[in-house]
């Protein structure tokens, strides 16, 4: 039967060739553009400033991570929530640009940003830039640019993350995040944080709330858009520090007497951001980005009249700013060209110390990067700014040579500007004077360094020299009636000279990570000790897995060393720091021990802080924490 045999030979077997099911599920394809909150650095999940690593630390707030950055020094007041001054290579927060996913955060009045306002759980990576790279990215970035790149979730199944942290003096931190893709192309994230503490000394209680929300729409694999809302409100007691004349011991919280029992601050800020990022050019690595942002900041400052005295007055100061940033990157065969523009409008409401004021800022920036040879790379940056009727052109150049696969040498030179803050120019108070005309600061920075990389060793060595012309300082003075006052003045020349070393060495299950910074400060040629000449933070850790990989354990011991210095005086009503002559801050070395154990999706943290109970202080008279125990848990739930 040849015909039948031929038919059977060509008829498809129903068990071998099934007709496609119309209900089959299409495989999920990610459409999100990675790292949309970064400012250009390649993502390094092994970096100490990436969430993959700081999950395995005892970091409580962003400042605990910035201590790991060489050249950075923090003036901390010993209590959660108190304003922290960040200093980078001799420049404080007035000359450091703080950003969240590329949008500016600096307060338009005093120029700083409270690091406690941004939850550490919201941050995926911290990017730091100094010199020519920093001036290209942001205004008033002579001391550097610090960008907090947030987590960009893209999860089909629901994800919930909870963190709880408890320390001494009723210190409790609670944080929660929920995120899920609500459609094939849209992700929603919402979170909250509550941070409270009674404080070690009187009138230092802290209570803050943070709420955040973001909706990201992935139009395609080449176009993403998002909108985010970030709100923080806090109340903090401002006790003015301890009174050394009435306190038998500055380090005994039972007998120590604070200067002020009544002054406090209630602050709130609302940050709204919308952005779009895409790859419209044929080269998939050439990104276009546009960011639109609005921020409102309210501060209620209630000033006490001293211990036991009634309130003197309350001041409500409001400020807001809105703006846009445009960025375009064009990649070509031997390099890249980055172009950008920024416009920002700032407004300060009428208050007790400031009159109603509005001002506009505009800038255009460009950066050209050339890879002339495989071993040689160069970059030139420039920024043209128009502000308060002044046109300023900043510039910077960077050269890097890859001498061998494991050794690189580099140099960087830049000239940039810091404009005086609204507070420095226009704050009015009977106890505040301006003894000189305030002009924009001119920063000239030269850096050279070497970088070593191998499978087990990362080592960076840097030398720097910075000259600041028309440097602006705050100094106390005594008025004719004997009362104390403040003077804002400009110094013709201040020089900062120093170097940094950064080491990360991995041997077996041990890791040694640490940094050392040396800074010499001269004002008009005279040696000053505004900042410690030597600061260092190092950590020796052991990490291994046990119980068949079910337990991932890290145990570490940390040393922090700070040399003696004058210690700037904190001025609560200004949220600023001024030079003082109260006393010298002695040097110290502290030891901390902590361990982090990962069990499944839970990270359990145990901290024994300052077990030797060393008395420490970096700002007069605000003692840092004594011996204490802290506990924490960080838990991730899926589905």
Kindly indicate the confidence band of residue 216, based on its pLDDT and cuts at 50, 70 and 90. Answer: very high
Low-confidence winner among 217-221, 307-311, 326-330, 370-374 (lowest mean pLDDT): 307-311
- Taking 60 as the threshold, does the pLDDT of residue 189 lie above it? yes
The pLDDT score that the predictor gives to residue 478 is 67
Binning the chain into helix, strand and coil, the percentages to the nearest 5 are 5, 55, 35
Q: What is the mean pLDDT of residues 279-293?
A: 85
SS3 at position 433: strand
Distance CA 620, CA 581 (A): 10
Q: Which helix (H) or strand (E) holds 5?
A: helix 2-10
pLDDT in tens, 538-576: 999 999 999 888 899 999 999 999 999 988 999 999 999
Show the CA angle centred on residue 50, arms to residues 46 and 53, nearest 5°.
Answer: 60
pLDDT band, residue 485 (cuts 50/70/90) = confident
Residues 6+ apart with CB under 8 A from 26: none
pLDDT tens for each residue of 24-42: 444 455 677 878 888 877 7
DSSP code string of 344-403: EEEEE---SS---EEEEEEEEEEEEEEEEETTEEEEEEEEEEEETTEEEEEEEEEEEEEE
Joined tokens for residue 121: 């759980």
Where residue 13 falls among pLDDT bands split at 50, 70, 90?
A: very low
How would residue 12 be classed by pLDDT, with cut points 50, 70 and 90?
very low
The pLDDT of residue 9 is 39
Reported as half-sphere exposure (CB side, CA atoms, 13 A), residue 380 has a value of 2
Ranges 33-47, 165-179, 374-388, 433-447: which has the least confidence: 33-47
Whole-number Å distance between alpha carbons of 464 and 499: 6
Strands 144-150 and 186-197: unpaired
Mean pLDDT value across residues 394-418? 96
Question: What pLDDT band is residue 625 in, cutting at 50, 70 and 90?
Answer: very high
Cα 626 from Cα 351, distance rounded (Å):
39
| Alpha-carbon gap, residue 438 to 425, rounded angstroms | 7
Give CA–CA dist 413/397, Å, rounded. Answer: 6
Give the torsion sign (CA, 485, 490, 492, 497): positive
The token pair that represents 245 in the structure block: 């004349």
Q: Which domains does the chain have, with CATH numbers?
A: 51-308+322-638 (2.40.170.20)
How much is the average pLDDT of 162-178?
A: 96
Q: What sign results for the dihedral spanned by CA atoms 572, 574, 578, 580?
A: negative
pLDDT, position 435: 81
pTM, entire model? 0.92
Sheet holding 103-104, edge to edge: 103-104, 96-100, 144-150, 123-129
Task: Tell me if residue 255 falls in helix, strand or coil.
Answer: coil
pLDDT number for residue 17: 42
Residues 6+ apart with CB under 8 A from 545: 551, 552, 553
The span from the CA of 355 to the CA of 364, in Å, is 30
Strands 457-478 and 484-507: antiparallel
Given this model, what pLDDT does residue 293 score? Answer: 98
DSSP β-ladder status, 588-599 and 602-609:
antiparallel
Q: Which of 17, 71, 131 is nearest to 518 (CA)?
A: 71
What percentage of residues in the chain have a pLDDT greater than 70? 92
Q: Which residues sit opposite 634 in a β-bridge? A: 163, 603
Q: Measured between alpha carbons, how far is 115 from 94 in angstroms, rounded to an integer?
A: 14
**Pairwise CA distance, residues 130 & 142, whole Å:** 8
Q: Determine the Cα angle at 505 with ends 504 and 507, to 5°.
A: 155
Question: 612 in helix, strand or coil?
Answer: coil
Rounded CA gap, 266 and 140, in Å? 27
User: CA-to-CA distance for 579 and 556, rounded, in angstroms?
Assistant: 36
pLDDT band at 341 (very low <50, low <70, confident <90, very high): very high
Cα 461 from Cα 303, distance rounded (Å)? 46
Give the DSSP H or E segment for 413: strand 407-418
Task: Report the run of H or E that residue 135 belongs to, with start and end.
Answer: helix 132-137
Q: What is the average pLDDT value for the chain, to the nearest integer?
A: 90
Query: Which tokens go with 328?
Result: 């375009």
Q: Pick from 116, 234, 252: which is nearest to 621 by CA?
A: 252
Quick one: pLDDT band at residue 479, thresholds 50, 70, 90? low
Q: Which helix (H) or strand (E) holds 425?
A: helix 422-426
Q: Quote the CA–CA distance of 320 and 345 in Å, as a whole number.
A: 8
Nearest Cα to Cα of residue 97 among 63, 71, 127, 122: 127
DSSP label at 10? H
Task: Say if residue 409's pLDDT is above 70.
Answer: yes
């Amino acid at each position: 039967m040849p015909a039948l045999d031929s038919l059977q030979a060509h008829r498809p077997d129903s068990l071998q060739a099934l007709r496609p099911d119309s209900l089959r599920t299409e495989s999920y394809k990610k459409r999100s553009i990675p790292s949309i909150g970064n400012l250009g650095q390649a993502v390094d999940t092994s970096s100490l400033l990436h969430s993959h690593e700081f999950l395995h630390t005892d970091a409580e707030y962003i400042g605990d991570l910035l201590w790991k950055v060489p050249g950075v020094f923090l003036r901390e007041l010993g209590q959660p929530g108190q304003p922290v001054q960040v200093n980078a290579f001799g420049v404080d927060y007035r000359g450091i640009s703080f950003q969240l996913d590329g949008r500016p955060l600096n307060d338009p009045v005093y120029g700083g940003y409270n690091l406690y306002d941004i939850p550490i759980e919201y941050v995926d990576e911290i990017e730091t830039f100094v010199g020519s790279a920093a001036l290209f990215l942001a205004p008033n970035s002579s001391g550097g640019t610090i960008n907090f790149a947030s987590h960009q979730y893209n999860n089909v199944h629901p994800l919930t993350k909870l963190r709880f942290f408890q320390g001494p003096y009723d210190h409790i931190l609670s944080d929660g995040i929920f995120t899920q893709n609500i459609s094939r192309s849209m992700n929603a994230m919402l979170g909250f944080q509550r941070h409270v503490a009674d404080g070690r000394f009187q009138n230092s209680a802290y209570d803050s709330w943070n709420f955040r929300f973001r909706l990201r729409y992935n139009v395609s694999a080449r176009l993403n858009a998002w909108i985010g809302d970030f709100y923080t409100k806090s109340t903090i007691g401002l006790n003015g520090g301890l009174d050394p004349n009435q306190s038998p011991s500055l380090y005994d919280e039972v007998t120590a007497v604070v200067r002020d029992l009544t002054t406090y601050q209630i602050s709130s800020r609302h940050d709204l951001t919308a952005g779009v990022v895409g790859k419209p050019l044929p080269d998939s690595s050439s990104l276009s980005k546009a960011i639109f942002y609005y921020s409102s900041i309210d501060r209620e400052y209630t000033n006490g009249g001293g211990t036991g005295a009634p309130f003197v007055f309350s001041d409500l100061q409001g400020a807001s700013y809105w703006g846009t940033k445009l960025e375009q990157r064009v990649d070509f065969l031997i390099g890249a060209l980055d172009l950008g523009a920024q416009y920002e409008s700032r407004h300060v409401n009428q208050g007790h110390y400031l009159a109603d004021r509005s001002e506009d800022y505009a800038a255009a920036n460009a950066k050209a990067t050339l890879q002339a040879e495989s071993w040689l790379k160069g970059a030139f940056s420039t920024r043209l700014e128009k502000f308060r009727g002044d046109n300023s052109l900043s510039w910077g150049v960077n050269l890097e040579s890859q001498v061998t696969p494991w050794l690189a040498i580099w140099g960087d030179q830049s000239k940039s500007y810091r404009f005086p803050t609204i507070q420095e120019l226009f704050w009015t108070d009977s106890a505040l004077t301006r003894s000189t005309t305030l002009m924009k600061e001119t920063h000239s920075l030269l850096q050279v360094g070497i970088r070593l990389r191998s499978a087990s060793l990362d080592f960076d060595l840097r030398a720097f020299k910075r000259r600041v012309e028309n440097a602006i300082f705050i100094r106390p003075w005594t008025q004719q009636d004997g009362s104390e006052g403040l003077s804002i003045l400009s110094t013709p020349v201040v020089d900062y000279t120093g170097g940094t070393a950064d080491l990360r060495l991995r041997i077996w299950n041990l890791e040694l990570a640490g940094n050392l910074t040396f800074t010499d400060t001269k004002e008009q040629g005279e040696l000053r000790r505004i900042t410690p000449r030597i600061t260092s933070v190092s950590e020796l850790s052991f990490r291994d897995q046990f119980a068949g990989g079910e337990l991932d354990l890290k145990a570490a011991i940390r040393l922090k060393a700070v040399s003696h210095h004058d210690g700037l005086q904190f001025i609560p009503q200004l949220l600023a720091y001024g030079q003082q002559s109260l006393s010298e801050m002695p040097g110290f070395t502290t030891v901390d021990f902590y361990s982090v154990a990962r069990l499944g999706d839970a990270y359990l943290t145990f901290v024994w802080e300052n077990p030797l109970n060393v008395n420490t202080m970096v700002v007069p008279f605000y003692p840092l924490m004594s011996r204490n125990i802290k506990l924490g848990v960080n838990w991730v739930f899926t589905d």
